[in-house]
């Protein structure tokens, strides 16, 4: 009797485990299901799409993505690298609007990292382009000159290189300092290098758009 009860308990536990594993795998993002997060073993985790890019904000030290570092070298991973061009016009209809993943009620992209929690790793763009990145700023007075940024909010001991960004910072109103062009990162950088990065950007305000290059 005791043996049979034990046997039943084991079957129940096994069944529960199987259900749990099935639930976990069905809930997980496809991107987090990789068997190798650093395919070329250079210590930089590959970024394949905008969802991967967005997840960097939760791994500011570059050691993992989605909390996983499977496939990184034994010394660990120390950053990220673009493995593809990225386009924030995620439904590919030619415009960035409410039907795109990171529309965010019109606020658009949230910068990666801030002064309190800066990005501290390597971001290698491999000369790929990030397109249709859009940021809406309600109060441009919160940005002092030179701090207009499209991708990163703050860097510390970081390297960002070989990245091209095509995007727009949209101001709700007010005066824009014309010689302050959008940057890949804000001026909140400490002991960091930003090398060969290019933003081909626009500022926009009240229907006016003018180009800039930094
Ligand atoms: Ca890699
Ligand atoms: Ca690997
Ligand atoms: Ca779209």
Contact 161, 174 (CB under 8 A): no
Q: Judge if 161 and 117 occupy the same domain.
A: yes
Encode pLDDT of 99-128 as tens digits.
Answer: 999 999 988 999 899 888 999 999 999 999
Give every CB contact of residue 188 below 8 A, 6+ residues apart in sequence. 114, 115, 118, 147, 153, 154, 155
Average pLDDT for 17-35: 52
Distance (Å, whole) CA 8 – CA 10: 5
Q: Judge if 25 and 108 occupy the same domain.
A: no
Q: Judge if 119 and 154 occupy the same domain.
A: yes
More confident call, 168 vs 64: 64
Q: Judge if 8 and 53 occupy the same domain.
A: no
Q: Judge if 55 and 18 occupy the same domain.
A: no
pLDDT band at 194 (very low <50, low <70, confident <90, very high): confident
* pLDDT mean across residues, the chain: 77
Q: Judge if 105 and 57 occupy the same domain.
A: yes
Q: Judge if 117 and 174 occupy the same domain.
A: yes
Q: Judge if 111 and 23 occupy the same domain.
A: no
Residues lining ion ligand 2 (Cβ < 5 A) are 36, 38, 41, 71
For residue 201, report the distance from its CA to the centre of ligand 3, in Å: 18
For residue 11, report the distance from its CA to the centre of ligand 3, in Å: 49
Please choose, from the candidates 193, 195, 171, the residue with its C-alpha nearest in 3D space to the C-alpha of residue 182. 171
For residue 64, report the distance from its CA to the centre of ligand 2, in Å: 12
Residue 55 in tokens: 């997840």
Phi, psi of 44 (to 5 degrees): -115, 120
Range of the domain at 25: 1-29
Q: Judge if 206 and 174 occupy the same domain.
A: yes
Distance of CA 18 to the CA centre of its chain: 33
**Number of domains within the chain:** 2
For residue 157, report the distance from its CA to the centre of ligand 1, in Å: 20
Contact 162, 196 (CB under 8 A): yes
Query: Is 18's pLDDT higher than 50?
Result: no
Q: Judge if 148 and 191 occupy the same domain.
A: yes
Ligand lying closest to the C-alpha of residue 101:
3
Q: Judge if 158 and 192 occupy the same domain.
A: yes
Residues lining ion ligand 1 (Cβ < 5 A) are 38, 40, 42, 44
User: Quick one: pLDDT at residue 188?
Assistant: 72
The share of the chain scoring above pLDDT 70, in percent, equals: 66
Q: Judge if 18 and 78 occupy the same domain.
A: no
Average pLDDT for 49-68: 97
């Amino acid at each position: 009797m005791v043996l049979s009860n034990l046997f039943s308990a084991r079957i129940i536990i096994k069944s529960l485990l199987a259900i749990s594993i099935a639930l976990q795998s069905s809930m997980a993002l496809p991107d987090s299901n990789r068997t190798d997060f650093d395919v070329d073993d250079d210590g930089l985790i590959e970024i394949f799409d905008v969802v991967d890019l967005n997840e960097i904000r939760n791994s500011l030290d570059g050691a993992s993505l989605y909390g996983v570092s499977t496939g990184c070298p034994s010394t660990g991973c120390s950053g990220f690298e673009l493995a593809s061009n990225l386009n924030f016009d995620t439904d590919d209809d030619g415009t960035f609007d409410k039907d795109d993943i990171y529309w965010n009620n019109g606020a658009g992209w949230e910068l990666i990292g801030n002064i309190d929690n800066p990005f501290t790793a390597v971001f290698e763009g491999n000369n790929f382009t990030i397109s249709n990145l859009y940021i809406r700023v309600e109060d441009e007075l919160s940005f002092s000159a030179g701090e207009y940024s499209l991708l990163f909010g703050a860097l510390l001991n970081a390297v960002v290189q070989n990245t091209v960004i095509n995007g727009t910072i949209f101001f709700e109103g007010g005066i824009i300092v014309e010689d302050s062009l959008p940057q890949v990162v804000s001026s909140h950088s400490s002991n960091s290098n930003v090398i060969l990065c290019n933003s081909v950007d626009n500022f926009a305000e009240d229907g006016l758009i003018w180009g800039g290059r930094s």
